[in-house]
Amino acid sequence: MEISKEVSYFDVVCIGGGGAGATAAVVASLHGCRVALLSKEPLGYGTTRLALGAMATVGMAEGDSPELLFEEMVEEGEHLNHEGLAKVLCQGAGESIAVLENFGHLFKRDRQGSPIAFKMGRHRFARTLVSPGEGISIGCALRSACARSGIEIFEETAATKLLVEHGEIRGVVCYDLVAGRLFVLETDHVVLATGGAGWLFFPHTDVAKSVTGDGYALALAAGCELVDMEQVIITPFGVAPHGSAYGFHCGIPVTEVPQGVLRDREGRTLIQDLREMNQAEMSMRMQEAVRRGQGTKEGCLLLDLSKTVRTEEGKKLHQVLKEGGFLEIVRFAQGQKAYDWEVPIEVSPTVHYNIGGIRTDENLHTSVRGLYAAGEVQGGVHGLSRLSSLALTDLFVFGKRAGEVIGKGRKKANRKSVAWNEAKEEMEKISSIAGRNGNYRPIDLIQRLQKLMWEEVGPSRSRTGLLKALAAFEEIEERSKDLSVARVKTYNQEVLDAIELRSMIKVARAIAGSSLAREECRGSHVRIDFPDEQEGLRLNSVIAFEKHGKVKTRMEENSRWKAQHR
């Protein structure tokens, strides 16, 4: 592997090639910054590209306003939303559509040519626009906008370490997967926009392969705090048994009231009325049923829609889903009869979104000077649960804000050199991975971690299970010092696996540790040993941080909200 001695300087380095990172990069570049954009996949891929393309805005329906959206967000988030950030999101939601359309995207329009807004999920107004090409055309628009802006693009390149000195950001150590090259970018602004951590739960997730929680791990190591990492949105109806296509939604929209009856493998009713239960509880019950041995051979349950499709309303829903192409995956994985809802669809809960994340102020600034976070990796905006179709809005509002805050606040280039020794040490560490001749392949350790995350830190959590997982993470970390890795230079996926494994262990600890700290069921977090909400924990957030290389947690009361809601 090659260690580059050449160091280039950029005003801003954005890490993450999805909606938030690309938007921050484009906007900062419009403000005259010299910008580098790192994307672990080709630019414009990742989970933004996998989105269904539903994006909430404000002001489409009469009577709607940012203030009303804010009220709904706070209600949904159980008053644990960061007030300033949530307000920024609501104020920016109207404009975010224009930001994305200006990149080259187009939302669906009616015959007269006006954008159409739908009422989705628990939104009280019709606010959601849909993308005819789903997330794909959004991903393409991101690529176009970056090509237009003249940003320096580093595709298939991972950030392995943030270089911080005296509490301020100085640079980033990068690994170019294609060339097998390590290099340093010097900068005084970094935007973390790496998305969530769904891949820690693979195959029980609908996210892209690159979503390994890198930003959380980089932030923890740099001294930042994470807020409410236990809050992971797990939706009940992922299409299940099908090799790599596991975990995608089976068309029963997560955003709508679920229909049908949930059965075990013998056909016995598990949940009769899906409408009466929230998705966190439903996912917990499903995992519990599988633990009791009621799951199918593949560890799934059966979503029976045969009665639904015989009702007028159900027939209509089926038609809409078919026309939208949302049931294609069911046909692909389970055949025509399941597609027609004549036989039950085999389903398993699936990890969809990380609500928790890096703690920032309303300018997206972390506790490290010059370090920002935007998009899913950032935490606290949505409190304990997110309204549907606000995830895309979040990317474009906060991506733009990060770019603007940096662009407007930037004084003339203030280049300070990185501590070369620290950078060199990191590069030598990564460089030594290729060709190691130990006992464990990175992918085996990753799979072991993923299994633990799903079984013990997934939909149904308990103290016993979480402690078991935390102990096992220690063992995985120990084994990760004894890796066996191919020596090849070009596109060495095993080296990337090893880098990702290091992040994943840290993030797994943050999620499991935060889950252990919150001894109650609240929001998207379910503890079977504490089946109720604890009044004393209302308005409390779990804060995760790193001390002497260990991930720790503490509870913190949101005093501002407490004063308002007494």
> Smallest gap, in angstroms, from Cβ of residue 34 to other proteins?
16
Write the DSSP assignment of 445-481 as a string of letters: HHHHHHHHHHHHHSSSB-HHHHHHHHHHHHHHHHHTT
> Smallest gap, in angstroms, from Cβ of residue 156 to other proteins?
8
Both tokens assigned to 308:
């639904």
Nearer to other proteins, 44 or 379 (CB): 44
Using the structure block, give the residue that is written with the tokens 């602004």.
189
> Smallest gap, in angstroms, from Cβ of residue 194 to other proteins?
14
> Smallest gap, in angstroms, from Cβ of residue 552 to other proteins?
33
Nearer to other proteins, 72 or 444 (CB): 444
> Smallest gap, in angstroms, from Cβ of residue 170 to other proteins?
28
Angle at 80 (CA atoms; ends 74, 84), nearest 5 degrees: 70
Specify burial of residue 361 (Cβ count, 10 A radius: 0-12, 13-18, 19+).
middle
Note the Cα 229 to chain centre separation in Å. 11
Nearer to other proteins, 78 or 101 (CB): 101
Nearer to other proteins, 81 or 348 (CB): 348
Q: How far apart are CA 237 and CA 445, in angstroms?
A: 27
Nearer to other proteins, 103 or 545 (CB): 103
Nearer to other proteins, 391 or 470 (CB): 391
Q: How far apart are CA 552 and CA 544, in angstroms?
A: 6
> Smallest gap, in angstroms, from Cβ of residue 443 to other proteins?
5
Nearest to 56 by CA among 72, 42, 34: 72
Beta strands 345-354; 301-304: pairing state: antiparallel
> Smallest gap, in angstroms, from Cβ of residue 431 to other proteins?
15
> Smallest gap, in angstroms, from Cβ of residue 139 to other proteins?
8
Q: Which stretches does DSSP call E strand in 68-145?
A: 128-130
> Smallest gap, in angstroms, from Cβ of residue 397 to other proteins?
14
Nearer to other proteins, 114 or 559 (CB): 114
Write the DSSP assignment of 53-77 as a string of letters: -EEE-SSSSTT--HHHHHHHHHHHT
Q: How far apart are CA 85 and CA 361, in angstroms?
A: 7
Site residues (vs other proteins, CB under 8 A)? 41-43, 45-46, 49-50, 97-99, 101-104, 106, 109, 112-115, 132-137, 140, 143-145, 147-148, 150, 153, 155, 178, 208-210, 242-246, 248, 328-329, 332-333, 441-444, 447, 486, 488-494, 497
Print the SS3 string covering 501-547.
HHHHHHHHHHHHHHHHHCCCCECCECECCCCCCCHHHCCEEEEEEEE
Nearer to other proteins, 202 or 545 (CB): 202
Q: Which stretches does DSSP call E strand in 138-180?
A: 152-155, 157-165, 168-176
Nearer to other proteins, 53 or 380 (CB): 53
Note the Cα 4 to chain centre separation in Å. 32
Nearest to 73 by CA among 515, 305, 389: 389
Nearer to other proteins, 240 or 282 (CB): 240
> Smallest gap, in angstroms, from Cβ of residue 477 to other proteins?
20
Strand order in the sheet with 550-557: 357-358, 226-227, 540-547, 550-557
